């Protein structure tokens, strides 16, 4: 297996690994208010997140940004809580008026990218093909995020369209669950600061 395939697979597995569920929770909270018909908006959101984490992932790998991993691990659940709370304020599902979600996805992507950096740095070492490996890892992350988005949006379709759950109740219920899990993670990680 060549390096590109290896790092592509690692990026895909890293984002979809259930043991690293903090990233899954963030992507789920980010796309939760959207339906399948909003796929273009969701693609923009996920891309904004990917751009953010790609930038800080690259900067971290090249040692241009060095922050305590304990702080990063604390900030990741905070981003999840904020995103889940933002879902509570979405009432009319008129996404033309909430451009701040894209900015939030980009900014929170910066934080999540630093969370990925320690893992990736430990695999790369002092390799000369760092750009190719970084690109492959990011493509894998993006593919994994798209799988998570597809799963969340399909669940939303099932509950809203088939089981006739009111859309707002669906978003509030799942966002509340995501917020609760993230709050517990944040409190546990706060003790490690």
User: Model confidence over 137-155: pLDDT tens digits?
Assistant: 889 989 999 999 999 999 9
Residue 48 tokens, joined: 């904004």
- Higher-confidence position of 91 and 140: 140
Q: Where are the domains of the chain?
A: 3-190
Within a 10 A sphere around the Cβ of 126, how many other Cβ atoms? Answer: 5
Provide CB contacts within 8 A for 167, sequence distance 6+.
35, 93, 156, 160
Q: Is the pLDDT of residue 97 over 80?
A: no
Give the whole-angstrom CA distance, residue 7 versus residue 108: 23
Q: Report pTM.
A: 0.91
Question: How does residue 98 score in pLDDT terms, banded at 50, 70 and 90?
Answer: low
Encode pLDDT of 145-193 as tens digits.
999 999 999 999 999 999 999 999 999 999 999 999 999 999 999 988 8
- Higher-confidence position of 97 and 35: 35
Residue 169 tokens, joined: 């109740």
């Amino acid at each position: 297996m060549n390096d590109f395939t290896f790092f592509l697979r690692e990026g895909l597995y890293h984002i979809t690994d259930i043991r690293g569920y903090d990233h899954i929770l963030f992507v789920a909270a980010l796309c939760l208010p959207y339906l399948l018909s909003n796929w273009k908006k969701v693609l923009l959101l996920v891309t904004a997140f990917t751009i953010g984490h790609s930038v800080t992932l690259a900067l971290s790998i090249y040692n241009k940004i060095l922050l305590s991993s304990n702080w990063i691990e604390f900030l990741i659940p905070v981003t999840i809580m904020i995103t889940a709370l933002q879902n509570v304020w979405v009432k009319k599902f008129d996404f033309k008026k909430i451009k701040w979600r894209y900015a939030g996805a980009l900014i929170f992507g910066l934080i999540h990218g630093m969370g990925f950096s320690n893992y990736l740095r430990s695999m790369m070492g002092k390799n000369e093909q760092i750009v190719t490996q970084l690109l492959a890892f990011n493509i894998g992350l993006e593919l994994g995020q798209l799988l998570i988005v597809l799963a969340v949006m399909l669940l939303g379709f099932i509950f809203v369209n088939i089981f006739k759950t009111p859309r707002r109740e669906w978003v509030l219920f799942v966002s509340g669950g995501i917020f609760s899990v993230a709050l517990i993670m944040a409190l546990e990680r706060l003790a490690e600061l």
